[in-house]
A and B are shown apart, each in its own frame.
Chain A
């Protein structure tokens, strides 16, 4: 199989053309340095992303709390992380970095608060 990728290892942004089988890379073309090969390996076989979204928050001046995964999670799980966050409601006060869902979808990453929200008198 062949796939075209844009290498994000540095601002150069080499356009990679990657030949691979089910299990391993065969050839990487278009890279100007060895990091291009590492990037292609990771992107083709286990791409990961950090997910950022919001959860509902009760008892704060804001309605939504921004959240993120504490580290990157497999790319194919992004939508399921978003769904899990949508089903979650937390109560103020919330501290930045507070774990809201530990080990989300058994990824080893936690869903954590990305800001501090104080408790407010607002209903």
Chain B
């Protein structure tokens, strides 16, 4: 017997109920869009914030320091007031073009296969952690090797400790936060090992998560071997040479029953790619224009699915922009217009958006390749400098965001890059031409 799948109709659908999805949905409603659905694979909204029980969220957004669950709850309450509909325990399998917009194939626990039609879709699926498979550590494959985020879920949500003695590979913020969390719960954290010559996480986390508990941080080192049969017993740690290859000289072994990996995050874009969305080779997120619309008209992206953020405050802000522009798109008010490409120049790992419309203003996000001091960030259109700002120090761990006023109508391309700036000049000085 065959049965036709239920079809639900909405003006806009948001995929993911984490911080990006919640803020995007609220923004759509505030922009006058009536029927908004959020599809979420977990059983409740909040996303990864629910397991980030530490504080430090919301300083920009709410001018106070909140924990992850508190930050999430503020947006969950806004979503409740805005009468947004949710579909929980549901995953989106496909996004296809349909008459009047897009059709989503959705599997939902208890409801089976559903089709959802909407004029606009906002991608807010977030990112996932890189695993041992992404970094190829030699040795056996015992239990006890896991990502830092998984350990965070075990400890903070499920109430289990992963082991008694831990080593952490990677000094990203989640790894640092977990070093302190495990220490507080009685686990001995023996070392944090970082392949780069500088830490991957924010300075505050180095101080308050490692230095406070005398946890050694080995920069320019890596885990070169994992020992153990059924369970991990020890890791071999080696200094690395200029080509990131482990060296024998200075090699040592630490016994441990847990190895946490905090070795980077990847935007989760299998669904976007299947829908024909063009991806950025560096961010691994969609290529977007100044309206945060992807290469597929009517599909927008925001938050960690677009590029990995270090502050949730910027995720919320970006998601609001996506919501406002998706609403304009639904009303036919998003003008196509001429777009120019935006390139990352000196010391810039990536810049986003990758296309901007002359005449419009824009928020531009970028990340530096390496740490540097006393530099000048410039936005240029050919020989013309449109924006300049001095920075005393830039770090790859800190995303920079700048707001450009209306771009001149006659420009052909934009380049964002750093140049050395004489020391001693006041930081934060900016000019706009």
Contacts and interface: CB of A to CB of B under 8 A. Distances in A.
Interface of A: 5-6, 8, 11-13, 32, 49-54, 56, 61-64, 66, 68, 75, 78-79, 82, 96, 114-116
A116 B73 CA distance: 8
B389 interface: no
The main secondary structure of chain B at its interface with chain A is helix
Contacts of B70: 96, 114-115
Interface in B50-107: 50, 53-55, 65, 67-70, 72-73
Given A11-B393, A62-B157, A54 B53 contact: yes
Interface residues of B, number: 30
A49 B211 CA distance: 13
B67 A66 contact: yes
B67 A12 contact: no
Contacts of A61: 43-44
Among B73, B157, B184, B211, max chain A CB count under 10 A is at B184
A32 B393 CA distance: 12
Nearest to B212: A75
A96 B54 CA distance: 15
Given A66-B69, A66-B156, A52 B207 contact: no
Interface of B: 43-44, 50, 53-55, 65, 67-70, 72-73, 156-159, 184-185, 203-204, 206-208, 211-212, 392-393, 398, 427
Q: Which 5 A-B pairs have the closest CB atoms?
A: A115-B69, A66-B53, A13-B203, A114-B67, A66-B69
14 contacts: A5-B207, A6-B207, A8-B207, A49-B212, A50-B65, A53-B53, A61-B44, A64-B157, A64-B158, A64-B159, A66-B68, A82-B184, A115-B69, A116-B73
A88 B184 CA distance: 16
B73 A115 contact: yes
Given A8-B204, A12-B392, A68-B67, A63 B55 contact: no
Contacts of A78: 184
A62 B159 CA distance: 10
Contacts of A68: 53, 55, 67
A2 B393 CA distance: 26
Given A54-B156, A114-B69, A6 B53 contact: no
B208 A49 contact: yes
Q: Which among B65, B72, B158, B203 has the greatest number of chain A C-beta atoms within 10 A?
A: B203
A11 to B, nearest CB: 7
A78 B204 CA distance: 17
A31 B72 CA distance: 36
B184 A96 contact: no
Given A6-B203, A6-B207, A114-B70, A79 B398 contact: no
B185 A82 contact: yes
Nearest to B177: A52
Contacts of B72: 115
A114 B72 CA distance: 10
A116 B69 CA distance: 9
A51 B55 CA distance: 8
Nearest to A32: B392
A95 B112 CA distance: 34
Contacts of A51: 184
Nearest to A62: B157
B267 to A, nearest CB: 25
Contacts of B157: 62-64
Nearest to A96: B73
Nearest to A43: B207
Given A8-B207, A64-B158, 8 more contacts: A53-B185, A54-B156, A64-B156, A82-B184, A114-B69, A115-B70, A115-B72, A115-B73
